[in-house]
Amino acid sequence: MSRVNALGLGGCKFWRRSALVDPREKMPTRIERLLPASCGNRSANRPPHIAVLMADDLGFADTGFAGSPLMQTPCLDKLARDAVHLTRFRTPTWCAPSRAAFLTGRHGWELGLATAQGWTALGGEVVLLSELLREAGYRTAIVGKFHFNPAMRRRHPSGGSFGCGFDHQHGFLGGETDYYRHHPTWSRDGKSIRERGYATELFAAEAERLILAHARRPAPLAPFFLWLALNAPHTPLQAPRELEARFSASLDPQVRTYAAMVLAMDRAFERTVGALQQVSSAIYVHCIRK
């Protein structure tokens, strides 16, 4: 069962355009049924804002709430205290099939994505979660790592200039990037840009900017779907020195850097959740650890 299936958003049949049941007719209803009790003060006719926070290659026990004595993840620990924990699931261990499963509700091997190589382009017959949400009235955004073949953008042209059902985009296409020099495909809304800075921090700043900018849009405000798909703590092992300094110098250098990368990841999530808290009293945040 993929992560999306575990949320009840669909199965393989539901996500095919040729399915007997039109997913566009069912999506808003299914979203409403997924809302936690904490969102009960919403307007009955107003869909929720949704933020999905995705880590990349994070060890299953490499968080404070999972029992790690080393990792510093105060934001995730706080979210975990009031969260539903899905501890029995089947998930790919690779980047590309995990992202494909999330966007489609289908196993990576069904889509030709069985390993970390994300160069299979999902065809136009495959329905993406972002497309369905956009057709249900959502403004949609992807920030971070989009591990798919660039040709996929031509096959899924809906949305903004980036396509794939996303009105906004910031990040890169590919499996990994240098955290400071950045991937050749680094872009915003599909247009190549050059930025200076640590990738995790740049993605956090963009997520915060998009949330606050969306809140300033004229009423009636459309629901917002944000997929913050960090590449942290995926290799290469690189972290700001000031974060490495928070961990003992006696640690193995790679372990020390990895711990600092996890802390940077947690701070990115904290910044995103903080922006959500500024604009909404009822927050539904779905965290994915891969």
Domains with residue ranges and CATH for the chain: 3-37+47-288 (3.40.720.10)
Per-residue burial over 261-271, b if 16 or more Cβ lie within 10 Å, else e, is bbbbbbbbbbb
Rounded to the nearest integer, the mean pLDDT of the chain is 82
Farthest-apart Cα atoms in the chain, separation? 60
95 is catalytic: yes
* Residue 1: per-residue pLDDT: 24
Give me the catalytic one of 107, 147, 182, 214: 147
How far apart are the C-alpha atoms of 139 and 111, rounded to whole Å? 26
DSSP state, residue 164: T
Residue 50 forms beta bridges with which residues? 225
Q: Mark whether 107 is an active-site residue.
A: no
Residue 6: the pLDDT is: 26
pLDDT tens digits, residue range 8-53? Answer: 222 223 333 333 334 444 444 455 554 444 444 455 567 888 999 9
Query: 3-class DSSP state for residue 39?
Result: helix
Q: How far is CA 139 from CA 13, 135, 136, 166, 168, in A?
A: 25, 9, 9, 8, 8
Whole-angstrom Cα distance, residue 191 to residue 162?
8
More confident residue, 174 or 249: 249
Cis peptide before 36 (omega within 30 of 0): no
99-118, pLDDT tens digit by residue?
888 999 888 778 877 766 65
Active-site pick, 75, 95, 164, 287: 95
Digit-coded pLDDT (tens) for 182-200: 999 999 999 999 999 999 9
Task: Using CA atoms of 71, 89, 286, 242 in order, give the dihedral in degrees to the nearest 10.
Answer: 20
pTM for this model (two decimals): 0.83
Burial track 3-17 (b if 16+ CB lie within 10 A, e otherwise): bbbebebbeeebbbe
